[in-house]
Amino acid sequence: MYRLLLGTALIFRFGRASPTSAPDSGEISLRDLAEPRFFGAAANTTFLFHDQNYTRLAETQFSIFTPENEMKWENIEPFPNVFNFTAADEIVRFSEFSHAKVRGHNFMWGNQLPPWVNDSLSATELDRVLKNHIDKIMNHYRGKLYAWDVINELISDTPNATFKDIIWTRKFGEEAMPKALVYARQADPQPRLYINDYGIEGINGKSNTLFEVVKSFKEDGILLDGIGFQCHLTLGQVPPDLQENLQRFADLDLDVAITELDINLRGPANDTALAQQAKDYEEIVNACVAVKRCVSVTVWGVSDDHSWIPHGEVLPWDGEKRPKPAFFAIAEAFGESTSSG
């Protein structure tokens, strides 16, 4: 009943957003409706403070931010032991001003590495480089970050293979992921440490591989706090077993989080497509709120004009920063959770 009443109230007050009729979302705060969970976005300093409407949405709608690129290795340590914290610091300061959390992103990934981090380094040299990278960054942000995506996208997409063939696994083998987690925990015991990946949203071969890896980590006493499920999805493709999958990882005494959510229309933003997109967003949020250890839902960007997918119309706000049906569906899902919690 509450769901029906909330949905009716939202439609009555604002109408259902469409490409030609877009209500103002200013009176609805998703960050407030999401409590005690976080509702977040990937923040990008190219737009933050340079686009007034982008900044206004960031201030009012989100309670956790992930730097979209500012903490990736090529940007934050472009040369050996030369760190550039300027852009990342801007996001951290903005988050503090907005009373929002920050999720660090990331330490161990096969992409967006500077040229000097390459296979010419010996395993011993790369080990020293990795530890120094984690130590310096975590010490710089000590006490300021809620969580870190320590490991990003290391699980293989190939059946019968556990890890991707990238510099970290070539040099360290199966010790790559434990090594990064141990160094992160030694550097700062406070932030929640995550493994983050794509293609693991449903129960499938890749998520089964990750599940077994994580289970072995827990059995071996390797400290890990959570799993991030990216959820870069296409219209109508939300896995039906998403909630069940989140729950099985939570049952390993882990937090789970939706970390990089967007829904690609792959076509025109007509009323039918936008309605399906709203349904998809609502399904994902519902799956999270149904799992006690699901702590956050983060969309990967703020509005369609600033998404990493330039023509997918993927986010809850359009290119004019107007709320789409997905916005109201998210509000409804979080609102129902609040009423029943």
Token duo for residue 31: 């960050």
Instruction: Say which of 70, 201, 260, 332 is annotated catalytic.
Output: 260
Query: Looking at this protein, which amino acid is placed at residue 311?
Result: H
- Does the annotation count 153 as an active-site position? yes
Instruction: Say which of 68, 153, 201, 336 is annotated catalytic.
Output: 153
- SS3 per residue for the chain: CHHHHHHHHHHHHHCCCCCCCCCCCCCCCHHHHHCCCEEEEEECCCCCCCCHHHHHHHHHHCCEEEECCCCCHHHHCCECCECCCHHHHHHHHHHHHCCCEEEEEEEECCCCCCCCCCCCCCHHHHHHHHHHHHHHHHHHCCCCCCEEEEEECCECCCCCCCECCCHHHHHHHHHHHHHHHHHHHHHCCCCEEEEEECCCCCCCHHHHHHHHHHHHHHHCCCCCCEEEECCEEECCCCCCCHHHHHHHHHCCCCEEEEEEEEEECCCCCCHHHHHHHHHHHHHHHHHHHCCCCEEEEEECCCCHHHCCCCCCCCCCECCCCCECHHHHHHHHHHHHHHHHC
- Does the annotation count 260 as an active-site position? yes
Catalogue the active-site residues.
153, 260
